[in-house]
């Protein structure tokens, strides 16, 4: 009887079987290998991705202006307030009319209500300070941007035809001694908007430079400020 030599080569079929078995062993070693923290190496773990970034709320647009306008809003009690605005309900410039109420002087101050009225057919909201700027007849700004009076704004809900107002104040020029100029118009920008509403200014001259020339604006609240 003839014995096979130990150095004899396996058959091609046997060689393929050995290769397949070796590959299965290597695969089982790779998939079972864990990281130092107990996670499987090479696999992303749930919960490790950064949460989606949330867009910061824009502050009330007190540095821009708003859309064109006239005025004449209804009663103060009609509008309502709530702590936060519902998403997507902000009043846009083109939905509003702007006006300026009568001066209500006091303690050496000139105080005017700046009124925005909802001229659209939907309910919308205002939240924060208006933008404001006095313009001369050539359309150039008179004086610096008004200062925003620090306050805690509330969301003012405006049904069609309802109004909200913000106070615009400055020291009486005859008392402060500030240099004055006669504006042709006041630009008013609703919060978070960029396009201005233009209101013809029919009042007196306003301070534009010098001591106590600062103009200030307050946050919006329901009504006309009358």
Residue 91 has pLDDT above 70, yes or no: yes
The structure's pTM equals: 0.63
pLDDT of residue 64: 31
pLDDT of residue 52: 33
Average pLDDT over residues 141-148: 93
Taking the C-alpha atoms of residue 70 and residue 222, their distance in angstroms, rounded to an integer, is 18
Q: How far is CA 208 from the centre of its chain?
A: 29
Average pLDDT over residues 196-220: 90
Average pLDDT over residues 13-41: 41
Taking the C-alpha atoms of residue 98 and residue 190, their distance in angstroms, rounded to an integer, is 9
Q: How confident is the model at residue 78 (pLDDT cuts 50, 70, 90)?
A: very low
Tens of pLDDT along 109-135?
999 999 999 999 999 999 999 999 999
* Residue of 87 and 126 predicted with greater confidence: 126
Residue 147 has pLDDT above 70, yes or no: yes
Tens of pLDDT along 29-74?
333 333 333 332 222 222 222 233 333 333 233 433 333 333 333 3
* Residue of 130 and 108 predicted with greater confidence: 130
Total number of residues shown for the chain: 226
Q: How confident is the model at residue 203 (pLDDT cuts 50, 70, 90)?
A: confident
pLDDT of residue 175: 87
Q: How confident is the model at residue 170 (pLDDT cuts 50, 70, 90)?
A: very high
Residue 189 has pLDDT above 60, yes or no: yes
| H or E element that contains 23 | helix 12-31
Nearest alpha carbon to residue 69 among 187, 194, 182, 158: 187
Average pLDDT, the chain: 73
Q: How far is CA 66 from the centre of its chain?
A: 15
Could you tell me the residue ranges of all domains in the chain?
76-222
pLDDT of residue 171: 92
Taking the C-alpha atoms of residue 122 and residue 89, their distance in angstroms, rounded to an integer, is 9
Q: Compute how many other C-beta atoms are within 10 angstroms of the C-beta atom of residue 28.
A: 10
Give the angle subtended at the CA of 177 by the CAs of 171 and 183, to the nearest 5°: 65
| Structural contact between residues 165 and 225, judged by C-beta atoms closer than 8 angstroms | yes
* Bridge partner list, 186: 134, 199
pLDDT of residue 201: 95
User: Which residues have a Cβ under 8 Å from the Cβ of 218 and sit 6 or more positions away?
Assistant: 129, 149, 151, 166, 167, 169
């Amino acid at each position: 009887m003839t014995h096979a030599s130990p150095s004899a080569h396996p058959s091609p079929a046997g060689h393929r079987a050995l290769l397949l078995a070796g590959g299965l062993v290597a695969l089982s070693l790779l998939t079972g290998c864990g990281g130092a923290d107990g996670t499987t190496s090479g696999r992303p773990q749930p919960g490790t991705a950064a949460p989606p970034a949330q867009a910061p709320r824009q502050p009330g647009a007190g540095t821009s202006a708003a859309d064109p306008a006239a005025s004449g809003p209804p009663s103060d009690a009609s509008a309502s307030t709530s702590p936060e605005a519902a998403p997507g309900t902000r009043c846009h410039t083109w939905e509003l009319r702007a006006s300026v109420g009568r001066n209500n002087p006091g303690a050496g101050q000139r105080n005017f209500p700046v009124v925005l009225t909802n001229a659209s057919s939907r309910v919308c909201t205002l939240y924060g300070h208006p933008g404001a700027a006095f313009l001369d007849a050539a359309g150039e700004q008179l004086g610096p941007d008004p200062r925003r009076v620090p306050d805690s704004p509330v969301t003012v809900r405006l049904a069609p035809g309802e109004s909200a107002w913000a106070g615009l104040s400055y020291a009486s020029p005859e008392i402060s001694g500030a240099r004055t100029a006669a504006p042709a118009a006041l630009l008013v920008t609703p919060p978070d908007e960029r396009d201005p509403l233009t209101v013809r200014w029919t009042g007196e001259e306003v301070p534009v430079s010098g001591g106590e020339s600062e103009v200030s604006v307050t946050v919006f609240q329901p009504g006309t400020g009358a």
